[in-house]
Structures are given as structure tokens and as C-alpha cells.
Structure 1
Amino acid sequence: MMNFDSTSKMSKEAMDSMLTTMSAMTKGFQQITAEATDYSKKSYEDSAAAVEKLVSAKSLDKAVEIQTEYAKTSYETFVAQATKMSELYADLAKEAYKPFEAAAAKVSS
């Protein structure tokens, strides 16, 4: 009977860890999706604004200046977004692993 209780307890702990992990992953993917959506929307709006400026440019020099500024800002925004997304993915991995840290500590001791 003692073995059954021990197995039952281990099964419950494993199930709790899995559910906690799934919850953390769901929350993390929701954050990542929201961030990607916001970035896509802002990127589209910035592109549209740059095209409007280019169309209204009076000279070739002004058009080159607008395009150069747009390329610079787009690159900086992309790098910042890539950094933010990588941090979100790292946080997701850490949160998903947390419930198993205690189990791993029990096994190794």
C-alpha cells in the first residue's frame, strides 16, 4: 500500500508540474504574439508614413534623405524588437522549466 501512495503522490506532482508549465507557456506565447502583432502594426504604419513623405518630396535629395532616415529607424527598431523577442523567449523557457527544478533537485539528492 505504501508503494501505491508514493506512486500516486509522484503522479500528482508530475501532473501539477505539467499543468503549471503549460500555463506558463500559454501566457508566454500570448505575450510573444501580442508583441509581434504590435510590432507588425507599427512597422506597417511607419512604412505608410515613409511612403507618404516620399511622395510629397520636392527634390531627389529630400527623397534620399527621407529614405535614409526611414532605413535607419527601421533597422534600429528591428534590432530593438529582436532583442525584446529573444528576452521574451528566454523568459518563457525559464518559466516553463521552473516547475521541474524542484523535481530535478529531489532526484539528484
Structure 2
Amino acid sequence: MMNFDSTSKMSKEAMDSMLTTVSSMTKGFQQIAAEATEYSKKSYEDGTAVVEKLASAKSLDKAIEIQTDYAKNAYETFVAQATKMSELYADMAKEAYKPFEKAAAKVSA
């Protein structure tokens, strides 16, 4: 009977760890999706504004200047967003691993 109780307790702990991991991953994916949506929306708005500026440009030099500024800002924004997304993925992985880290510490102790 003692073996059944310990097996039952271990199974419960494993299930709790799994549910905690799934919950933290779900929150992480929601945060990532919200961030990606916001970035896409902002990129679209910026692109639309540039097209409007280009349409109203009076000279080729002004059009090239508008396009150059847009390309520079788009690249900087993309790099910042990529960095932020990689941090979100790393944080999500750390949070998902925490319950298993605790279980591994118990086993090795």
C-alpha cells in the first residue's frame, strides 16, 4: 500500500508540473501573439503613411529621402522587435521549465 501512495503522489506532482507548464506556455504564446499583432499593425500604418508621403513628394530627391528614412526606421524597428520577441520566447521557456526544475531538485536531493 505504501508503494501505491508514493506512486500516486508522484503522479499528482507530475500532473501539477505539466499543468503549470502548459499554463505558463499559454500565457507566453498569448503575449507573443499580442506583440506580433501590435508590431504588424504599426508596420502597416507606417507603410501606409510613407506611401502617402511618397505620393505627395514634389521631387525625386524628396521621394528618395522619404524612402531612405522609412527604410532606416523600418530596419531599426524590426531589429528592436526581433530582440523583444526573442526575449519573450526565452522568458516563456524559463517559466515553462521552472516546475520541472523543482521536481529535479527534489529527486536529486
Q: TM bucket by the smaller chain?
A: over 0.9
Residues 6-51 of structure 1 deviation map (CA, whole Å, 9 limit, x = unaligned) = 0000000000000000000000000000000000000000000000
> How do 1:1-109 and structure 2 match up within 5 A?
1-109=1-109
Quote how far apart the aligned CAs of 1:107 are.
2.0
Q: Which runs of 5+ in 2 are unaligned?
A: none
Query: Aligned partners of 1:64, 1:56: CA distance in 2, in Å?
Result: 13
Query: Aligned partners of 1:23, 1:60: CA distance in 2, in Å?
Result: 54
Instruction: Give me the identity figure in percent.
Output: 86
TM-score, structure 1 as length reference = 0.98
Q: Which runs of 5+ in 1 are unaligned?
A: none
Query: Aligned partners of 2:50, 2:82: CA distance in 1, in Å?
Result: 22
Query: Aligned partners of 1:103, 1:19: CA distance in 2, in Å?
Result: 14
Quote how far apart the aligned CAs of 1:108 are.
2.0
What one-letter code is carried by the residue in structure 2 that aligns with 1:92? M
Q: Which runs of 4+ in 1 moved over 3 A?
A: none
CA RMSD of aligned residues (A): 0.5
TM-score, structure 2 as length reference = 0.98
What one-letter code is carried by the residue in structure 2 that aligns with 1:8? S
Query: Aligned partners of 1:87, 1:102: CA distance in 2, in Å?
Result: 23
